[in-house]
Amino acid sequence: MIQLLERSKNFKDRTALVSNGKSYSYDLLSEASQNVAANLLNGKADLNEDRITFLVPQSFEYTAVQWGIWAAGGIAVPLCVLHPLPSIQYVLEDTQAEIVIAHSDYFEFLNPLEVAIDISVIPLESILQENTSVLPEVDSTRRAMILYTSGTTSRPKGVVTTHDNIEAQVTTLVNAWEWEKDDHILNILPLHHVHGIINVMSCALWCGACCEFLPKFEAEKVWEIIRSGRLTLFMAVPTIYYKLISYWENANSEKQKKLSGAASKLRLMVSGSAALPVPVLEKWKEITGQTLLERYGMTEIGMGLSNSYRGERRPGHVGLPLPGVEMRLVDSENNPVKENEPGEFQIKGPSVFKEYWQKPEATQKAFTHNGWFITGDIGMLNNGLYKILGRDSVDIIKSGGYKISALEIEDVLRKHELVDDCAVVGLPDEEWGEVVSACVVSSQTVIDTDSISDWLKEQLPVYKVPRNYIVRKELPRNVLGKVTKNELKKMF
């Protein structure tokens, strides 16, 4: 039984979602998701873990489709509305999906794939049409969702979670952050990531609260919603807080006072998906009185650690393991490290993912022989709280809440006719955490990097496109021929 869907029956007339200016009750959400399930089944008894992809913006319809896939026994595979066609095609091919449910805005965009990979594009309207069917009994141990993440390899891997995994990820946050049915949260986060799907939307719907969607971030609109007084929680990535601070700083003193007063009334504000620069935390506290709660998580585990809801929130730290999460810090030999000594975070517990989709070798490598998930993140215990020191690989760039594979960008960049070789690194940045930066090796004396960026935007999501370039005759390498990226960073 899928508890998230079952629990919605307890909340009936309460407002579940606010979408495109309209309010939708839990009853309406349940009804819409049952229509989706019946239309997907189309006479079948059970989807039996068929992968159902969908390209739908943040909305009531998005949630109804996701829940409908689950109710019919399928695996939900949300696609990112901002990704270019090659990224979408990769996910469709990797999951071997036969259909993609699409909002009308994306029909023309997806049209080339109908022929190229023989996939059926199903209009969102048709899948929402009224329909009734006997729905299958879906066991909670079944696969529920595949989210794609770029790890240390150049190609994204599909992270498979079960319904039990999702329930564990949700309930640990509901308990730790004291969610209640009268809560109201604004969701401005992408819905192909754990942050937006689990931390915001699913936590709200688990406890009968309200999740309000804002598909496109605009600082003025977010401040307007904060000023309305209806929010009790707010969650965002550091880049968004940076932009909200900039808006506040450009307002007149009277408006600043009103904005600060409104923000001070929320019961909880959380920052995640990237390290929160201490100056941003301090400035936000100065203008709102709110100490942002930092936490640590990843697609494979949901959230693993969190600063305290009621206790100390120490800048630059991510607190302690959440309820139900086992965590250890180990050295390269998997031996525990002492306090104030760096080690790798390893995680165990019911929230940890099942597998990488159809990648048994990668799945096996991701765990120790006794079942600890190897995060690749380095941290230490410092005066009773944990802090993140960085990634065990320089090939992962955290920018604006995204975890980006430098190797993936390099593979694409090398295909450009003017690029003989290249290397990509992340450079520290107060607003973005890190910015993607590329060193290009070329035989040409002058290169138009703007044209390279324009070309890359057709191949990659815009957040993966480098913001800084340098051109060199060769890359710095060690005696084994490996690019020394820490040396490369100094060149910028």
At residue 479, the pLDDT reads 46
At residue 148, the pLDDT reads 93
Q: Is residue 343 pLDDT above 80, yes or no?
A: yes
Give the whole-angstrom CA distance, residue 262 versus residue 18: 20
> For the segment 94-141, what is each residue's pLDDT rounded down to a tens digit?
999 999 999 999 999 999 999 999 999 999 999 999 999 999 999 999
Q: Is residue 395 pLDDT above 60, yes or no?
A: yes
> For the segment 464-478, what is each residue's pLDDT rounded down to a tens digit?
999 999 999 888 876
Q: Is residue 375 pLDDT above 50, yes or no?
A: yes
**Which tokens go with 337?**
């490290």
> Max alpha carbon distance in the chain (Å)?
68
If pLDDT is split at 50, 70 and 90, which confidence band does 329 have? very high
Give the whole-angstrom CA distance, residue 144 versus residue 122: 20
Average pLDDT rounded to a whole number, residues 351-357:
98
Cα–Cα distances (Å) from 474 to 218, 415, 492, in that order, read 41, 17, 14
**Which tokens go with 490?**
């100094």
User: CB pairs under 8 A, 24+ apart, for 24-30?
Assistant: 24/60, 26/205, 26/208, 28/60, 29/60, 29/63, 29/64, 29/67, 29/205, 30/5, 30/67
At residue 379, the pLDDT reads 87
Q: Is residue 153 pLDDT above 50, yes or no?
A: no
Average pLDDT rounded to a whole number, residues 354-374:
96
At residue 151, the pLDDT reads 44
Q: Which of 336-350, 370-384, 406-420, 430-444 has the lowest mean pLDDT?
A: 406-420
Using alpha carbons, select from 199, 269, 281 the residue that is nearest to residue 232: 269
Beta strands 75-78 and 15-19, pairing class: unpaired
Q: Is residue 180 pLDDT above 80, yes or no?
A: yes
Residues across the chain: 492
At residue 389, the pLDDT reads 78
Question: pLDDT over 70 for what percent of the chain?
Answer: 97
At residue 392, the pLDDT reads 65
Provide the CATH number for the domain formed by 396-491 in this structure: 3.30.300.30
The more confidently predicted of residues 213 and 387 is: 213
Count CA atoms within 13 Å of residue 49 on its CB side: 13
Give the whole-angstrom CA distance, residue 20 versus residue 416: 40
The more confidently predicted of residues 204 and 447 is: 204
At residue 445, the pLDDT reads 79
The residue ranges of every structural domain in the chain are: 396-491
- The backbone region for 321, taken as left when phi is positive above 0, alpha when psi lies in -120 to 50, beta otherwise, is beta
Q: Is residue 405 pLDDT above 90, yes or no?
A: no
Q: Is residue 150 pLDDT above 60, yes or no?
A: no
* pTM metric for this prediction: 0.85
Torsion angle defined by CA atoms of residues 304, 292, 173 and 30, in that order, rounded to the nearest 10 degrees: -130
Average pLDDT rounded to a whole number, residues 425-434:
91
For the chain, what is the total number of helices (H) and then of strands (E)?
A: 17, 25
The more confidently predicted of residues 388 and 135 is: 135
> For the segment 53-76, what is each residue's pLDDT rounded down to a tens digit?
999 999 999 999 999 999 999 999
If pLDDT is split at 50, 70 and 90, which confidence band does 391 have? low
Angle at 336 between CA 331 and CA 342, to 5 degrees: 50
At residue 415, the pLDDT reads 87
At residue 353, the pLDDT reads 98
Q: Is residue 261 pLDDT above 70, yes or no?
A: yes
Q: Is residue 381 pLDDT above 90, yes or no?
A: yes
Mean pLDDT of the chain: 93
